[in-house]
Amino acid sequence: MQFARRVVVTSPHTASDVAAMGVAPERITIVEPGTDAWPHAPTDSAPSVPAAGPVRLLCVATVTPRKGHALLLQALAGLKAPPGLPGPPWPPWQLHCVGSLTRHPATSAEVRALAHDSGLADRVVWHGEVDAAALQAQYAAADLLVLASLHEGYGMVVAEALAAGLPVLASDAGALAQTLPPQAGWRVPAGDVPALQAALQRLISDAALRARLSAGARAAGRRLPDWPAQAARFAIVLESL
């Protein structure tokens, strides 16, 4: 990168990371990814209605160490019923994990064993990689996107969740603190299992809170740039060279 005339990055946080590597700030341009309009996103006039049954959690991430699946499972394993509610089977949730199970086989084996040993095997569904239509269906069916990453250069799945009107619980790792607006979800310190557990406890048990965050997600999603706009911005950078 030291010899590049221009370096294009996906977020202000990544721009800071690249500058720390010795690239002059004036040679760095930020062009955030675009986001497709989501056909299943509810409108403000017809807000989403919580489905009966378990709260459906969605994690879209390749199963690699950086994505924090083990942290998420540890947090879920420690959830307790709120005062006044019965113990097991509360809390009624199910986690759907979408993302490659072959990118880092050791991590895949580790987190599946962790789910089994923690008594969560019947609550965690590992879908592996899916096509675009299946991914849209997962966003449409979910109640909450959860992402416990230890670093992100942008957080594409968070942007997709906003476009889908889906509330988000994510770590503040890397660019996630910038990608996720506060009205659309909650952020917790990266790697902090107790904080993640407390946030899960609240968001799983409080449908009204999820509904408010969903409205914030829809509003934020409407402000996201689309791919043609961002491709045009990228082309301007190239043409300037």
Q: What is the pLDDT of residue 92?
A: 86
Question: Positive or negative CA dihedral for 90, 161, 152, 14?
Answer: negative
DSSP state of 66: G
Q: The whole model's pTM is what? A: 0.89
| CA-wise closest residue to 230 among 19, 9, 4 | 9
Cβ neighbours for 88, distance < 8 A, ≥ 6 positions apart: 81
The gap from C-alpha 162 to its chain's centroid, in whole angstroms, comes to 10
Q: What is the pLDDT of residue 46?
A: 47
> Whole-angstrom Cα distance, residue 23 to residue 191?
29
One pLDDT digit (tens) per residue for the chain, 241 residues:
667 889 999 999 999 999 999 999 999 999 999 998 877 555 555 445 455 679 999 999 999 999 999 999 999 998 876 666 655 556 689 999 999 999 999 999 999 999 999 999 999 999 999 999 999 999 999 999 999 999 999 999 999 999 999 999 999 999 998 999 999 999 999 999 999 999 999 999 999 999 999 999 999 999 999 999 999 999 999 999 8
Q: What is the pLDDT of residue 39?
A: 72
Query: In this structure, are residues 35 and 226 in contact, taking their beta carbons and an 8 Å threshold?
Result: yes
> Whole-angstrom Cα distance, residue 8 to residue 145?
28
The residue ranges of DSSP E strands in 15-106, in sequence order, are 28-30, 55-60, 93-98
> Whole-angstrom Cα distance, residue 205 to residue 32?
34
How would you class 120 by CB atoms within 10 Å of its CB: exposed for 0-12, middle for 13-18, buried for 19 or more? Answer: middle
Q: What is the pLDDT of residue 50?
A: 52
Domain ranges of the chain: 7-33+225-239, 55-222
Q: What is the pLDDT of residue 148?
A: 97
Query: In this structure, are residues 155 and 66 in contact, taking their beta carbons and an 8 Å threshold?
Result: no
> Whole-angstrom Cα distance, residue 233 to residue 34?
10
Query: What is the b/e burial string over 48-76, where b = at least 16 CB atoms within 10 angstroms of the residue's CB?
Result: beeeeeebbbbbbbbbbeebbbbbbbbbb
Write the class of the CATH domain 55-222: alpha beta
> Could you give the C-alpha distances from 39 to 42, 58, 87, 163, 185, in angstroms and in order?
9, 18, 38, 9, 21
Judged by phi (left if over 0) then psi (alpha if -120 to 50, else beta), residue 187 lies in beta
Query: In this structure, are residues 116 and 137 in contact, taking their beta carbons and an 8 Å threshold?
Result: no
> Whole-angstrom Cα distance, residue 127 to residue 86?
31
